[in-house]
Amino acid sequence: MTTLFISDLHLDASRPAITDLFLAFLRSEALEADALYILGDLFEAWIGDDTPSPAADAVAAALKEVSDAGVPVYFIRGNRDFLLGEQYAARAGMRILPDPSVIDLYGTPVLLQHGDLLCTDDLPYQQFRAQTRDPAFQAQFLAQPLAARIAFAQKARDASQSRQSEMKQGDRAQFETVTDVAPAEVDATFIRFGVDTMIHGHTHRPAVHSLMAGGQARTRIVLGDWYEQGSVLRVTSDGMSLQAL
């Protein structure tokens, strides 16, 4: 049996082929898995469980089929869908996990997280993250009319894209450093949680990294995004494989 890990699907109406690929994945391989873990950014944007979306409805129905088939589905919120709540999770048959979380994976403790907490060199983003994760901010935001929430989300996306564009036009090496994980934070996280294996997404840099932290050998697996293809980590009791669909 296999446990599946995915993240950064960024499902959006502008990319229906990726939604179709994900639905096909759910109706085939996922139905035979031990468990399915979605490590954030399932959607390109999420401004509340009450937002009308045929695509989100189809995804919820397909995920519920996986859950109803006896395959546990777990979800960690990402930086794009941190407002995804218990209402949608119930419709999809998902259990929301804290970010980060330690799980038992075939007898091995493994740390799961979306990955943005590791990008500590991006100070403006970390400040924005702290603000938007505040329960008071979220309650105030979700109480606004849908049109106001849509406008705020679009403004935030435009600002983010503008900032990234400016950074790319400047020092490209600096951009790559700021938008990737901070090695010191990775080391500290391994030591803090006392695990040898970490799985995350967010950076869109799929790879399996071997490193030393606290004098011990560690493994950091980075899941890929689904903008143009699928990225799936398959783990069995015998090993793991990070592949593109």
3-state secondary structure 27-83: CCHHHHCCEEEECCCCECCCCCCCCCCHHHHHHHHHHHHHHHCCCCEEECCCCCCCC
pLDDT at 172: 65
User: Tokens representing 78?
Assistant: 């990402």
234 CB-contact burial (10 Å; exposed 0-12 / middle 13-18 / buried 19+): middle
pLDDT range class, residue 155, cuts 50, 70, 90: confident
pLDDT tens, residue by residue, 211-227: 999 999 999 999 999 99
pLDDT at 26: 98
pLDDT range class, residue 165, cuts 50, 70, 90: confident
User: Tokens representing 63?
Assistant: 């995920």
pLDDT tens, residue by residue, 88-101: 999 999 999 999 99
pLDDT at 75 over 70: yes
Percentage above 70 pLDDT, the chain: 97
User: Tokens representing 174?
Assistant: 């600096």
Single-letter code of the amino acid located at 196: D
pLDDT tens, residue by residue, 113-138: 999 999 999 998 999 999 999 999 99
**3-6 vs 35-38, strand pairing mode:** parallel
